[in-house]
């Protein structure tokens, strides 16, 4: 990176992340104690070290700059491990309201150092960065954890526009790193690139940057351009699978689709001499080295689905049902969110498992799901039809129409479903392309009859 560009990025970042007078550098005893505490916490949880570090972070005599100087020195030779990511996430986010000094001093100082630290591997490794990550997995995981931490942090503070400049520069280097890659023998680089894309999209707060948009093509690009939705599958999905996802998303009410990315975690492994396949085939051998890759992190809603390592029709249908099951959970969260307390990291909701299951069934085979629910009611089981009423209300948004979905092996069909309601808002009729269902209630509002026309 050119020195002027580095300075311009970090100067703007530091303006918000850090500033104000420096009262005193950390004393030597505090530096030694905090170094010991964090080295221990980098390997696992220690309540004694966490409490000791907390006392130093609470000291009024230290300013942001003091912590920034300490973190800059400490992280020169210390990886940002999984355990440190968890510790600082807990420290910074759990106590951000109660302890303003941590929010205003420790978090910004750490974020500034980590953002600057992200630029170094690109400077030092250039086109060999992907290979360097494979040879240094601890550094790769540290890099990923920094991205994940900053993604969370940028949602709790008004600094997304500043981090965006860091992500923009890094993303502009991605094609240079991609250039030498000619095969799939890379575990870490695709994973890091996907997390970086999530960070960059989140930092742009709903506006899709051109650099990001230009990296995808075809239906994946349209998903990003039209819905702000990243499909992170490392080009492993078959074309008609991507098409089905695109068609589904296009039919869902936009205000219900609070999803930033769909991450496909495949059981595909490394290409080996004894197991060479084409891009549309899958590898049955599972490489256990891939199991340690961390999950993508975002405070926005996301879908993470494991795709079976098979490409048969049955496996593809199973994959789509897994995807719809996850989508059902997200839509159930959206319905429940208004009744829950909001937090700095998003909304804590209790997902109704039955509702989520009913949503996923509706999105996969509406007509059959409805017929099954009516048959269950006729046999004395009322739960299924009650859940479908909830789904119909959720997807119709109180209107008189909703979308019916039916998946086939390589296509998805849509049709309109018409609803009628009584004065109290209860659904009295559902008319599909295959049947009409009329519902009768008693004076107490209980469903007493279903007629199929």
Sign of the Cα torsion 342, 343, 346, 349 reads: negative
Sign of the Cα torsion 278, 280, 283, 287 reads: positive
Tell whether the model's pLDDT for residue 283 goes beyond 60.
Answer: no
- State the DSSP code for 148: H
Q: Which residue has the higher pLDDT, 257 or 249?
A: 249
pLDDT at 343: 44
pLDDT at 279: 34
Tell whether the model's pLDDT for residue 277 goes beyond 50.
Answer: no
- Mean residue pLDDT across the chain: 82
**Lowest-confidence pick of 164-178, 305-319, 375-389:** 305-319
Band of residue 125 on the pLDDT scale cut at 50, 70, 90: very high
Flag whether the pTM goes above 0.75.
Answer: yes
**Count of Cβ atoms closer than 10 Å to residue 186 Cβ:** 18
Mean pLDDT for 157-173 is 82
Band of residue 13 on the pLDDT scale cut at 50, 70, 90: low
Q: Which residues contact 206 (CB under 8 A, 6 or more apart)?
A: 228
Q: Which of 107-121, 241-255, 332-346, 406-420 has the highest average model confidence (pLDDT)?
A: 107-121
pLDDT at 20: 43
Q: Which residues contact 95 (CB under 8 A, 6 or more apart)?
A: 102, 103
Count helices and strands (H / E) in the chain.
18, 10
Residue 411 contacts residue 244 (beta carbons within 8 Å): yes
Residue at token pair 């994940």 = 148
Q: What is the CA radius of gyration of the chain?
A: 26
Q: Which residue has the higher pLDDT, 334 or 354?
A: 354
C-alpha dist (Å) from residue 416 to 387, 396, 413, 422: 19, 11, 11, 20
Mean pLDDT for 293-307 is 77
pLDDT at 117: 94
Q: Which residue has the higher pLDDT, 287 or 179?
A: 179
**Lowest-confidence pick of 84-98, 235-249, 336-350:** 336-350
Percent of the chain whose predicted confidence (pLDDT) is above 70: 81
Tell whether the model's pLDDT for residue 162 goes beyond 70.
Answer: yes
Q: Which of 16-25, 88-97, 404-413 has the highest average model confidence (pLDDT)?
A: 404-413
Spell out a b/e string for 415-433, using b for 16 or more CB atoms within 10 Å of the CB, else e: eebebeeeeeeebebbbbe
């Amino acid at each position: 990176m050119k020195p002027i560009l580095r300075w311009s990025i970090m100067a703007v970042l530091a303006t918000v992340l850090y500033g104000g007078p420096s009262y005193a550098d950390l004393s030597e005893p505090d530096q030694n104690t905090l170094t010991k505490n964090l080295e221990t916490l980098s390997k696992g949880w220690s309540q004694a070290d966490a409490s000791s570090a907390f006392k130093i972070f609470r000291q009024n005599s230290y300013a942001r700059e003091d912590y920034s100087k300490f973190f800059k020195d400490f992280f020169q030779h210390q990886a940002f491990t999984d355990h440190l990511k968890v510790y600082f996430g807990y420290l910074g986010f759990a106590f951000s309201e109660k302890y303003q000094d941590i929010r205003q001093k420790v978090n910004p100082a750490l974020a500034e150092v980590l953002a600057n630290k992200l630029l170094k591997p690109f400077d030092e490794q250039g086109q060999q960065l992907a290979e360097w990550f494979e040879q240094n997995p601890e550094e790769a995981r540290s890099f990923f954890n920094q991205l994940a931490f900053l993604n969370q942090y940028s949602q709790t503070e008004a600094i997304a526009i500043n981090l965006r400049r860091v992500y923009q520069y890094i993303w502009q280097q991605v094609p240079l790193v991609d250039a030498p890659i000619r095969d799939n023998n890379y575990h870490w680089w695709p994973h890091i690139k996907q997390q970086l894309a999530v960070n960059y999209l989140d930092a742009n707060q709903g506006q899709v940057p051109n650099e990001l948009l230009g990296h995808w093509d075809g239906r994946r690009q349209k998903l990003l351009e039209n819905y702000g939705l990243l499909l992170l599958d490392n080009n492993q999905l078959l074309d008609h699978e991507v098409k089905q996802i695109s068609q589904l998303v296009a039919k869902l009410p936009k205000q219900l689709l609070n999803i930033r990315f769909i991450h496909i975690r495949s059981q595909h492994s490394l290409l080996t001499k004894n197991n060479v396949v084409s891009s549309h085939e899958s590898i049955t051998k599972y490489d256990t080295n891939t199991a340690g890759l961390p999950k993508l992190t975002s405070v926005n809603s996301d879908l993470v689905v494991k795709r079976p390592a098979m490409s048969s029709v049955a496996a593809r249908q199973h994959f789509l049902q897994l995807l719809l099951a996850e989508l059902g959970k997200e839509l159930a969260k959206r319905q429940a969110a208004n009744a829950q307390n909001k937090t700095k990291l998003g909304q804590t909701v209790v997902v109704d498992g039955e509702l989520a299951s009913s949503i996923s069934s509706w999105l996969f085979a509406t007509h059959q799901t409805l017929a099954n629910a009516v048959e269950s009611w006729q046999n004395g089981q009322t739960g299924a039809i009650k859940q479908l009423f909830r789904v119909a209300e959720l997807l119709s948004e109180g209107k008189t129409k909703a979308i019916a979905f039916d998946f086939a092996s390589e296509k998805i069909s849509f049709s309109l479903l018409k609803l009628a309601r009584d004065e109290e808002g209860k659904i009295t009729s559902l008319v599909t392309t295959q049947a009409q269902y009329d519902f009768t209630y008693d004076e107490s509002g209980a469903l007493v009859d279903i007629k199929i026309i």
